[in-house]
Amino acid sequence: MKKVSFLIIALLLILPFMIGIDNVSAAKKNKVNVYIFRGEGCPHCEEAIEWFEDELANDEEYSNYYKLVKYEVWYDESNKNLMDQVATELGTSASGVPFIVVGDKYFSGFSKESSPSQLKEEIKKQYENKDYQDIVAAVKKGKSINKGDSKAVLPIVIISAIAIVAVLALVFFTKEKE
């Protein structure tokens, strides 16, 4: 009986950590979506896309961090609405293109002199962020993402609380039988 109790206690105590470790490793495996809301014929948009597809895509390190997703907004009303909803979720307005979104950060416009370094820094930061949040994907699903949301931690807290109660119950019942 004591061996079974010990195994149950060990499993209940280790389980929350196994779940947490699995979530961290899963976050590292997926590329970050980089969204570019663009206008057909916009020279700044074309320059940004060219930089992503030619220069950054050929960078051995950064090509593993991101996937580029393009939305044309001048001729596609649904894409324009998506851009506006994303901007609202981010607490801004998209007044021009390109409007680039990386995780929960946005960039308005593109300049080869300053934008690449900022974008590379943010892509890497979001890729390494175990709490990476894809705002565009959430908005497309009709969800709102609140910064500082602790929903990801809740299952681990619940499992840990159950484990503690189970341990206390086993200790209490084991002492009563002695």
Tell me the CATH number at 117: 3.40.30.10
> Beta 99-102 vs 66-72: how paired, if at all?
unpaired
Residues 122 and 167 in one domain: no
In a domain, 145, yes or no: no
pTM > 0.75: yes or no: no
| Structure token pair of residue 13 | 């105590």
Residues 78 and 116 in one domain: yes
- How many domains, the chain? 2
Residues 9 and 59 in one domain: no
| Structure token pair of residue 129 | 């962020």
In a domain, 71, yes or no: yes
21's CB contacts (< 8 A; 6+ apart) are: none
- Which domain covers residue 164, as residue numbers? 2-26+150-177
Per-residue pLDDT of the chain (178 residues), as tens digits, is: 566 566 566 555 665 555 554 444 444 468 999 999 999 999 999 999 999 999 999 998 898 999 999 999 999 999 999 999 999 999 999 989 999 999 999 999 999 898 999 999 999 999 999 889 999 999 999 887 654 444 445 566 666 667 676 666 666 666 666 5
| DSSP codes of every residue in 63-109 | GGTEEEEEEE-SS-HHHHHHHHHHHHHTTS---SS-EEEETTEEEES
Residues 88 and 128 in one domain: yes
Residues 75 and 12 in one domain: no
User: Could you give the angle at which helices 2-29 and 154-177 cross, rounded to 10 degrees?
Assistant: 170
